[in-house]
A and B are shown apart, each in its own frame.
Chain A
């Protein structure tokens, strides 16, 4: 044990004696490990952002929209198939449904004194808040009575709240939507911009008010269905499909006039995409780590050749093969472990800077650090083993004769 300690000291001193060479060799490992950590961090960041964006729409969500399937571009208001009664039927006839929030509406001008903004007027019911994962900042949300009586009340999203009231009190104020007076009864908490769409750019009104008082439409643009739990989602999707096919009298074999999007499936697809992306990035980084490892091997081979005479002297005075092996292996391992640690620091720093730069979100997971570090240490041992073995097998007579 003491001997191993002393041999490690010998190894460290020889690394120190070749500071420039040692640090350049380490640089290869630092870049490799750092790259792996940053790349995995970017991948993980992308994955988390996608998940966050999708779950921010609501959990266990099925969205029924008018139109022909996912591939069809004929969607939205132009296809008029979903009605309020469909939403009610889903709620009362399909099992394992937590809540149903119909959506009807259009873009319209909203005015508050001299200020105005163009935003989405979203007609819905009291269920919308929980189904679509919104929370109230102040005031109250739409209640069943508002829907029943088609009251002219509005809950405004964070974006119009900012544009119209600029931080001032909104609840109790009156705004004009398409020239009709509405009382602001609540303000929604901001979800934050995610992607190209601003989820906060809405003014929520009772669905009946939107359909019959404001826009004179009979159709919904979507029905948001919250399923009781994750497991029940595909069954619920099938049940809703059956129910609506029956209600819409779609002949057997024909294309239904609606489509259902399963949030869990979207999440899965998106995760697959980001995972592929992460794997690719990691593969590129891994190659650079391999290059770092080969750098270690290269330097160790040079070092063994250069120190042939030293090895000869050590063997002449009685060093065993494993003593020489250990000494050179320690050098390689120290290079890779130290390089690995510095690489982790460099990787964390780079990931932080990339995250700060704004265009990417990064999230470095502990296991990716452990992964990168153990690969680095592993390459050190692997690539250090051959040169060290070569050194340990030198013939002392030949080695002493080496100039």
Chain B
């Protein structure tokens, strides 16, 4: 589904070249549920931007659903984002003037899809917000907003869902609910990559990739035992941030 080969990314800052990614390679298969971890400055945000086709690598090859997208730019990248990628952001990034349904339908608007409204309602139903389609973001709780954002990410049936600290702005209980939703989506076959700096959140996934100094640090599956153990530990302290 995703194959990164020797990805580098350099920035020019006042004549100095900063290497954010220094030759990074990994592979994500269809239906995988992967966490990306790493301290700030490790290049994890840069990696996320490249994975999300918001930015293009300086060198290296990025294959997304069989297509080499590493040379694309501008509107071509916008098309890839529209068709292949669903974003979930830490700060939700919903349009405040639009209703939940309109927010969910936004990617379909730019895709020129015909049955946008019906598909948006379907996606809202899937995240358990069928009854709130007419509400604006400021009339909803943080958890509900993030559900709307997830519905928006789902609505185009993308190849991959990219979540950037999706529980970062939520309390623990709501965070667990959102993680439960991701779990469900994963079981239904969605490919999900999630950036987080919280180890207990990362434990919810199946595989943890760490980035350090622009390179792959470690890449290991999450143990079944540890996983259920932590799951229980978090569930024991509900509502405590």
Name A residues whose Cβ lies closer than 8 Å to a Cβ of B.
2-3, 6-7, 13-14, 17, 309-310, 312-323, 396-397, 400
Which chain A residues border B81 with CB–CB below 8 Å? 315-318
Which chain A residues border B79 with CB–CB below 8 Å? 318, 320
Contact in complex: A317, B106 (CB < 8 Å): yes
Which chain A residues border B87 with CB–CB below 8 Å? 316-317
With A and B bound together, what is the CA distance between A312 and B92 in angstroms? 12
Please provide the 8 A-B residue pairs with the shortest distance between their CB atoms, ordered closest to farther: A318-B82, A317-B107, A320-B75, A318-B110, A318-B81, A319-B110, A313-B93, A320-B78
A310, A317, A396, A397: which contacts B110 (Cβ < 8 A)?
A317
With A and B bound together, what is the CA distance between A317 and B109 in angstroms? 10
Query: Which of chain B's residues 69-103 have a Cβ closer than 8 Å to chain A?
Result: 74-75, 78-79, 81-83, 87, 89, 93-95, 97
A18 nearest CB neighbor, chain B only: B97
Max chain B Cβ within 10 angstroms of own Cβ: one of A14, A309, A320, A323: A320
B76 nearest CB neighbor, chain A only: A320
Contact in complex: A314, B74 (CB < 8 Å): no
Contact in complex: A2, B112 (CB < 8 Å): yes
- State whether A397 and B49 are in contact (beta carbons under 8 Å apart), knowing that A316-B54, A320-B79, A321-B74 are contacts in the complex: yes
A3 nearest CB neighbor, chain B only: B112
Which chain B residues border A2 with CB–CB below 8 Å? 112
Contact in complex: B78, A318 (CB < 8 Å): yes
Which chain B residues border A13 with CB–CB below 8 Å? 97
Contact in complex: B95, A397 (CB < 8 Å): no
Which chain B residues border A14 with CB–CB below 8 Å? 97
Query: Which of chain B's residues 27-62 have a Cβ closer than 8 Å to chain A?
Result: 49, 52, 54-55
With A and B bound together, what is the CA distance between A321 and B89 in angstroms? 22
Which chain B residues border A317 with CB–CB below 8 Å? 81-82, 87, 106-107, 110, 152
Which chain A residues border B93 with CB–CB below 8 Å? 309, 312-313, 316, 400
With A and B bound together, what is the CA distance between A7 and B109 in angstroms? 9
With A and B bound together, what is the CA distance between A316 and B95 in angstroms? 12
B103 nearest CB neighbor, chain A only: A313
Tell me whether B157 is interfacial, beta carbon within 8 Å: no
- Distance in angstroms from A318 CB to nearest chain B CB is 2
A3, A310, A312, A318: which contacts B107 (Cβ < 8 A)?
A318
Tell me whether B18 is interfacial, beta carbon within 8 Å: no
Which chain B residues border A320 with CB–CB below 8 Å? 75, 78-79, 110
Which chain A residues border B111 with CB–CB below 8 Å? 318
A2 nearest CB neighbor, chain B only: B112
Which chain A residues border B107 with CB–CB below 8 Å? 317-318
Which chain B residues border A315 with CB–CB below 8 Å? 78, 81
With A and B bound together, what is the CA distance between A17 and B49 in angstroms? 32
Contact in complex: A321, B97 (CB < 8 Å): no
With A and B bound together, what is the CA distance between A322 and B75 in angstroms? 9
Name B residues whose Cβ lies closer than 8 Å to a Cβ of A.
49, 52, 54-55, 74-75, 78-79, 81-83, 87, 89, 93-95, 97, 106-107, 109-112, 152
Which chain B residues border A312 with CB–CB below 8 Å? 93
Max chain B Cβ within 10 angstroms of own Cβ: one of A313, A315, A322, A323: A313
B109 nearest CB neighbor, chain A only: A6
Q: What are 22 A-B interface contacts by the 8 Å CB criterion?
A: A6-B109, A7-B109, A313-B94, A313-B106, A314-B110, A315-B78, A315-B81, A316-B81, A317-B87, A318-B78, A318-B82, A318-B107, A318-B110, A319-B78, A320-B78, A320-B79, A320-B110, A321-B78, A323-B110, A397-B49, A400-B89, A400-B93
With A and B bound together, what is the CA distance between A157 and B171 in angstroms? 98
B97 nearest CB neighbor, chain A only: A17
With A and B bound together, what is the CA distance between A109 and B35 in angstroms? 114
- State whether A310 and B95 are in contact (beta carbons under 8 Å apart), knowing that A3-B109, A316-B87, A317-B107 are contacts in the complex: yes
With A and B bound together, what is the CA distance between A313 and B148 in angstroms? 14
With A and B bound together, what is the CA distance between A13 and B87 in angstroms? 25
- Distance in angstroms from B161 CB to nearest chain A CB is 13
Which chain A residues border B97 with CB–CB below 8 Å? 13-14, 17
Which chain B residues border A7 with CB–CB below 8 Å? 109
- Distance in angstroms from A1 CB to nearest chain B CB is 10
- Distance in angstroms from A349 CB to nearest chain B CB is 35
Contact in complex: A313, B78 (CB < 8 Å): no
A6, A17, A396: which contacts B54 (Cβ < 8 A)?
A396
With A and B bound together, what is the CA distance between A213 and B119 in angstroms? 105
- Distance in angstroms from A139 CB to nearest chain B CB is 79
B93 nearest CB neighbor, chain A only: A313
With A and B bound together, what is the CA distance between A14 and B112 in angstroms? 21
- Distance in angstroms from B57 CB to nearest chain A CB is 14
Which chain B residues border A400 with CB–CB below 8 Å? 54, 89, 93
- Distance in angstroms from B124 CB to nearest chain A CB is 16
- Distance in angstroms from A220 CB to nearest chain B CB is 83
B52, B75, B82, B112: which contacts A321 (Cβ < 8 A)?
B75
Which chain B residues border A321 with CB–CB below 8 Å? 74-75, 78
- Distance in angstroms from A18 CB to nearest chain B CB is 10
Which chain A residues border B110 with CB–CB below 8 Å? 3, 314, 317-320, 323
Contact in complex: A397, B74 (CB < 8 Å): no
A14 nearest CB neighbor, chain B only: B97
Which chain A residues border B106 with CB–CB below 8 Å? 313-314, 317
Contact in complex: A397, B78 (CB < 8 Å): no
Which chain A residues border B95 with CB–CB below 8 Å? 310, 313
With A and B bound together, what is the CA distance between A150 and B55 in angstroms? 106
